[in-house]
Structure 1
């Protein structure tokens, strides 16, 4: 087993399931200690129980502003350093805009955009001080195409795509790499709210990625030599075409 992340500490948000869980497990397998952040205490306890002391649970509701602000200080207290931040937590709102619940629009934009910006903002002083760090944001194929069945979700990912591009240009001089990974539809709870017809079509045509495939791609990004940045990866099932 390769131990390419031996001695590293990673923080993964939305780590109790889906892409976040696959990401955390991949980094644990590569020798990192991982702070797994999620609001689901039971799911975190179950995951961390399988991995022992290298997996550090941190129960936080990122939509609570005070709790969100405590993420980085708590992670540093628990692990001593942060080498990698995988800003992965997100939710989905699909369907026609006219049918959307506006409170859910607020909730999704807060988690998919504001929380990501705040988490990156909060970790940067630590990484700048150490003159090294990796930040990866889970974006979406929807950030690169005006997806007609999910205008609200796609807009959140377009916003975060711009955020990644601009922040990277600000901080590369400090030895910090910032990139995004933009998968097409992934077999996870996130797409449970897809329009039923679209979900049925994707399943029938084998047009879904697995979380582990996204994690493998993320590991490729993290393990390049420090002088190389994989700034954006767009990945999609071969059978899925917009």
Structure 2
């Protein structure tokens, strides 16, 4: 891969595994420095040691309001600028709503919706001041289809889909691009909470995609000419029956 992101700095949340780690690896290969944000200090240390000096660890529990508010100033202290924000951190609650734990619903909505909004809100003044920036949010195929086995998760992604599209329309006049990645089922730790029968069915049918596939789509979005915005990428396994 050519070094198309040379001189740029990315901040990735949920960066120590899954899609976040794959997108980090892709942007590093393209020449960016990447601030990896995750709550798992051990995983951050391990991955940053493997990835090299352009990978900068930032341990934050985004569900802690004060810690979440420190993300942008701490990232700027580490790297000096933010050109790309990949708001990727998220969790999953699936199954019948009647069986869901209320505290799990609160936690998921806080991370999947509130934290994303706050991270974008906090990054905007810096990007607007510089007159450039890319914000990409990890959404989901569930943002486009009322998935009956995950009403809470799907609702969080529908909210974020609306958020991305409305913020994009507010900030494009400042030279900022805002878009979302909406993958179908990805082979990652997020699926650990899937209903066992759905996960077994997906694996058996080849209905999963890899985090690297999502990272490749991210790179496509980031490397378009500045006059082109990829607003939303919906990607799903070819064998996914939807």
TM-score (norm 1): 0.99
Aligned equivalent of 1:169 = 169
Q: Distance in 2 between matches of 1:166 and 1:100?
A: 30
Output the aligned Cα RMSD: 0.5
Aligned equivalent of 1:151 = 151
Which is worse superposed, 44-53 or 144-153? 44-53
Q: How does 1:133-212 map to 2 (within 5 A)?
A: 133-212=133-212
Q: Distance in 2 between matches of 1:179 and 1:241?
A: 25
Aligned equivalent of 2:44 = 44
Deviation at 1:241, TM superposition (A): 1.8
- The answer to whether residue 126 in structure 2 is matched with residue 126 in structure 1 is yes
Which ranges of structure 1 fall in alignment gaps of 5 or more residues? none
Deviation at 1:50, TM superposition (A): 1.4
Q: Distance in 2 between matches of 1:171 and 1:7?
A: 23
Q: Distance in 1 between matches of 2:51 and 2:40?
A: 17
TM-score (norm 2): 0.99
Give the paired residue count.
Answer: 242
Q: Distance in 1 between matches of 2:143 and 2:74?
A: 31
Q: Could you list the runs of 4 or more consecutive aligned residues of structure 1 that deviate by over 6 angstroms after TM superposition?
A: none
Q: Distance in 2 between matches of 1:241 and 1:33?
A: 38
Deviation at 1:52, TM superposition (A): 2.1
Deviation at 1:51, TM superposition (A): 2.2
Q: Distance in 2 between matches of 1:35 and 1:8?
A: 11
| 3-state SS, counterpart of residue 67 of structure 1 | helix
Deviation at 1:189, TM superposition (A): 0.5
Q: Distance in 2 between matches of 1:53 and 1:199?
A: 37
| 3-state SS, counterpart of residue 35 of structure 1 | strand
Q: Distance in 1 between matches of 2:51 and 2:193?
A: 31
1:108-147 per-residue CA deviation (whole Å, 9 max, x = no partner) reads: 0000000000000000000000000000000000000000
Aligned equivalent of 1:34 = 34
Which ranges of structure 2 fall in alignment gaps of 5 or more residues? none
